[in-house]
Amino acid sequence: MISPTRPTDPARLRELVHVLRGRRVVVVAGAGCSTESGIPDYRGPEGSLQRRSPIRYGEFVRRPGARTRYWARSAVGWPRMSATLPNAAHRALAELEAGGVVQGVITQNVDGLHHAAGSRRVVELHGTLSQVVCLECGGRVVRDAFQERLLDRNPGWLDGLADARRRAETAPDGDAELDGVAVEGFRVPGCDRCGGIMKPDVVLFGETVPADRVETAWRLFDEGDAVLVVGSSLAVYSGRRFIYRARDGDVPIAVVNLGPTRADDVAAAKVEDRVGRALPRIARALLPRA
């Protein structure tokens, strides 16, 4: 649930718009962009990290039981994730890109909502839940197709979890909370090409962001002459690194976020508000009127 906030401070909004006006903006986006679409975050006061630990890469790779638990939970959580729609923040960023203000978005989110809203240049640092990858041959399939395979291998299983599905809490990676009884006996298909282990095409905890993806993000970063942080506390280094580069290169940094961020001490301007409320106003101020 999104906490109520005071209206955007007009003076701070004008200050942020002034910082961005006339500049090529690169956006660094985090979970705060998705919470207003109903996707919970990990690190907020009510985030899932406060209650349970997400699966780690080493555990997923080494322990068949951990993989079974992950995919059983994901089979429950995926329908909700795949039905999630972009919100006003996503749409405003897409409009700013179409209008030539935003050069692109570097996102820590894995939900695909920037693409769904119409953003064209998106670097998904942590991957995307919309694909599944084989750890043996590197083959990829779309998540919807893998969902069908999961349910085909476990006929009637999902129908028997009606109560659990209503209670299930879905994490940002689509991993719904289920008890051990619900997971028992769940069967996970391997790669249909080589029989290898199938993994969500996302960077799990304890896994590193692929070097080529980081390089793509740096190339996009270098096209901008201002950075806009949207909905991220920058607690994770994969996003914070861009703030360090901007600071060292005297690139102006602007922030729209509820709560403190690791960029607050170097930001030229900050608006503390829900991104779905602040970004449409920023877009109206920066985009030329017809």
| Under 8 Å between Cβ of 28 and 251 | no
Region of residue 208 (left: phi > 0; alpha: psi -120 to 50; beta: else):
beta
Contacts 24+ apart (CB under 8 A), 86-89: 86/37, 86/113, 86/114, 86/116, 86/117, 87/33, 87/34, 87/36, 87/37, 87/113, 87/276, 88/36, 88/276, 88/277, 88/279, 88/280, 89/33, 89/36, 89/230, 89/231, 89/275, 89/276, 89/279, 89/280
| Under 8 Å between Cβ of 123 and 137 | no
H or E element, residue 229 = strand 226-230
Does the annotation mark 126 as catalytic? yes
Given the residues 90, 114, 115, 126, select the one marked as catalytic. Answer: 126
> Which residues are annotated as catalytic?
126
